[in-house]
Amino acid sequence: MVNWFVMESVAQAQPETPAILLTPRRPRPARPFGLYDLTLPELEGRLRGKGLPAYRARQIWGWLYRQLAADYAAMTTLPDALRADLAAELPISTLETVRVLSADNGETLKTLFRTGDGELVETVLMLYPDRATVCVSCQVGCAVGCAFCATGLGGLTRNLSAGEMVAQVVGAARQARERGRVLTNIVMMGMGEPFHNYAATMKMVATLHDPAGMNLGARRITISTSGVAPKIDALAEEPWQVNLAVSLHAPNDALRDGLVPINRRYPVETLMAACRRYVERTGRRVSFEYALMAGINDAEATARDLAALLRGELCHVNVIPLNPVDVLPYERPDAAAIQRFAEILRGAGIPTTVRYSRGLEIDAACGQLRAKAERLAEAAPPTVTG
Ligand code: SAH
Ligand code: SF4
């Protein structure tokens, strides 16, 4: 975000400096870095540098991702000197819990974290009878700026590191364990656009997938994108069999340009072509997300256009009745309109599920809790409640 005050004062102090050199940026501490930022081979390399054998790295890895140890003191199979050395060198996590909110009879937990440089990010754990899913944020804010999304309102502040994403997952795994459950699934559907933070997202996948640690199957990880078409092609080339979800929300450019601004760069035809190549290359179906908004994209004619667009594709549509954001004008359609929309798709042979988002009363839609916390923080700083 542009800090006009800094820009103005620099400009006054150095009037001869060309405008292009005046990079307006708010001063921020160094980017936080912790143990969760290392892959297993990187950790092995670091320990080798200290003259330690590779099995020590595997031991630490087991403590981190099997025992879910929160501090070095808990790693009782390591020599005291190594624990002290590591503790002095780098923290395990760089995220601090600010607040935990619970909804849906405790089946939904939303955690607000503060990063080492003072940014706020949110993570949601959803407990279902057959699975426990964590919704992970990959950026502070988002540059895409979808019309109906709370995260995009303030633009992008910065990418999260792989370690900051891993920390969210481990935190959710601990919360699940405290409730006698095991974390089974990850969806990259929190704040931010994962394909604008591609390398760190893939590093997170590598860390969580590692069989010596959490050993989470790639099929249990879903990456959701607003439609960064070139990165869909990149994902198709990765060794990981992760799931791809595409936030379509509209079947044509006229409508999609206004809802998902990145559509002007990668229009519907370009996006669909990338999805087709992805299916051909991987044999895996694509999920299309469709946030249903009253009077915007819920007309029966729009459902028919969507069915025509997706006919013959290996895909699944998730119709998600909008989670309204208080400062935005969009509304959720009534139940009849939602069912009618889904029925038109099903009637055309498109596999379709209506999914209601969890945690409405705790602002669990992407970016809402952070947006509210930042407004409240103007009055009083947030407090730790869990
Ligand atoms: N940036 C990525 C992933 C994070 S958003 C993406 O856009 O796909 C995760 C999902 O939540 C997306 O499908 C997004 O369109 C949807 N979403 C955002 N705001 C929403 C809201 N207010 N109600 C319902 N879905 C919303
Ligand atoms: Fe960004 Fe996704 Fe929100 Fe769009 S919906 S602004 S891409 S986080």
Q: Which ligand is nearest to the CA of 145?
A: 2
Report how far ligand 2's centroid is from the alpha carbon of 215 (Å).
29
Pocket residue to mutate for ligand 2, from 121, 137, 138, 146, most atoms within 8 A of Cβ: 146
Where residue 51 sits, what CATH number does that domain have?
A: 1.10.150.530
* Same domain flag for 150 and 286: yes
Give the residue numbers spanning the domain of 59.
35-89
Burial class for 335, CB neighbours closer than 10 Å (0-12, 13-18, 19+): exposed
* Same domain flag for 199 and 63: no
How many other C-beta atoms are found inside a 10 Å radius of the C-beta of residue 150? Answer: 24
User: Are residues 270 and 225 in contact, defined by beta-carbon separation less than 8 angstroms?
Assistant: no
* Same domain flag for 127 and 257: yes
The residue among 70, 89, 108 that closes a domain is 89
Q: Which ligand is nearest to the CA of 153?
A: 2
Task: Measure the CA–CA gap between 194 and 382, rounded to whole angstroms.
Answer: 27
Q: Select from 229, 246, 232 the least CA-distant residue to 320.
A: 246
- For residue 121, being part of any structural domain is answered with yes
Task: Measure the CA–CA gap between 169 and 185, rounded to whole angstroms.
Answer: 10
Give CA torsion, residues 210, 215, 220, 223, to 10 deg.
Answer: -30
Is 366 an annotated catalytic residue?
yes
* Same domain flag for 248 and 284: yes
* Same domain flag for 199 and 307: yes
Q: Select from 271, 371, 377 the least CA-distant residue to 327.
A: 371
Q: Which ligand is nearest to the CA of 232?
A: 1
Pocket residue to mutate for ligand 2, from 193, 228, 318, most atoms within 8 A of Cβ: 193
- For residue 306, being part of any structural domain is answered with yes
* Same domain flag for 126 and 51: no
Treating both helix axes as pointing N-terminal to C-terminal, what angle do 40-49 and 54-65 enclose, rounded to 10 degrees? 130
Is 315 an annotated catalytic residue?
no
Which residue's CA lies nearest to atom 14 of ligand 1?
Answer: 247
* Same domain flag for 147 and 194: yes
* Same domain flag for 63 and 207: no
Task: Measure the CA–CA gap between 297 and 295, rounded to whole angstroms.
Answer: 6
- Alpha carbon 211 to its chain's center: 23
The domain tally of the chain equals: 2
* Same domain flag for 229 and 336: yes
Task: Measure the CA–CA gap between 110 and 132, rounded to whole angstroms.
Answer: 13
Tens-digit pLDDT string for the chain (386 aa): 223 222 222 233 333 444 444 555 666 667 899 999 999 999 999 999 999 999 999 999 999 999 999 999 999 999 999 999 999 999 999 999 999 999 999 999 999 999 999 999 999 999 999 999 999 999 999 999 999 999 999 899 999 999 999 999 999 999 999 999 999 999 999 999 999 999 999 999 999 999 999 999 999 999 999 999 999 999 999 999 999 999 999 999 999 999 999 999 999 999 999 999 999 999 999 999 999 999 999 999 999 999 999 999 999 999 999 999 999 999 999 999 999 999 999 999 999 999 988 876 666 555 565 666 655 554 443 333 32
* Same domain flag for 55 and 158: no
* Same domain flag for 83 and 102: no
Per DSSP, the three-state class of 253 is: helix
* Same domain flag for 161 and 63: no
What are φ and ψ of residue 19, in 5° steps?
Answer: -55, -35
The residue among 58, 89, 120 that closes a domain is 89
User: Are residues 40 and 55 in contact, defined by beta-carbon separation less than 8 angstroms?
Assistant: no
User: Are residues 253 and 263 in contact, defined by beta-carbon separation less than 8 angstroms?
Assistant: yes
Task: Exactly one of 44, 122, 193, 289 is catalytic; name it.
Answer: 122
Q: Give the number of the atom of ligand 2 that is nearest the alpha carbon of residue 139.
A: 8
Where residue 229 sits, what CATH number does that domain have?
A: 3.20.20.70
- For residue 386, being part of any structural domain is answered with no
